[in-house]
Amino acid sequence: MADDQRRLLEQLMGKEALDSFQVRRKEIEMTNPRVCKAFLVGTCPHDLFNGTKLNIGKCPLLHVEKHKLEYEFRTKKKNETFPNFEHEYYKTLQKYVDEIDFTIATALKRLEHTPEEKAKIAAVTKDLDVLDTKNRPHDV
C-alpha cells in the first residue's frame, strides 16, 4: 500500500518532490547562482555584520561549507581561477561600502551647524572672551 502511494505521488509531483531537502541541496554545484559567492571567496557581509548596529539579516543565498572547501581546494591546489566569483564578491562589498559611506555622510551633514547656530556660537564665544578678559587678575 505504501508503495502504491509513493508511485502515485511520484506521478503527480515528480521524483524530486519525495527527496529530502538535504539530498537536493547536495546536488547544487558551487557555480549555481543560488550559492553565495561572497561566502565562497571570503566572508559574506550578512555574516560579517550579524549582531551589529548594521545587521542586514540572513543571506538569501546558500552558504554550503562543502562548496567553500571545494573553492579553496580548486583555487589553491589546482590553480583554477574563478574571476566571476571574485568580481561578484568585490561588487557586493563595494555596494555595502557605498551604502555605509552614504550613511556616514548623511550623519555628518546632520551634525553640521546651521548658519544661525554658527552665529549664536560666535556671539557666545565673543561674550565669553570679553568676560574672561575682564575677570583676569592684572599683573603687577
Task: Output the nine-digit C-alpha cell for 76.
Answer: 589553491
Q: Do 82 and 71 touch, CB atoms closer than 8 A? A: yes
Residues 6+ apart with CB under 8 A from 9: 17, 18
Among residues 60, 53, 21, which one has the least CA distance to residue 39? 60
Q: What DSSP element (H or E) covers 18? A: none
pLDDT in tens, 26-77: 578 888 999 999 999 988 988 888 888 877 888 999 999 999 999 999 988 8
What is the structure's pLDDT at 140? 46
pTM reported for the whole predicted model: 0.59
pLDDT by residue (tens digit) across 72-116? 999 888 888 888 999 999 998 999 899 999 999 999 988 888 888
If we measure between CA atoms, which residue out of 8, 9, 7, 29 comes closest to residue 17?
A: 9
Domain ranges of the chain: 31-114
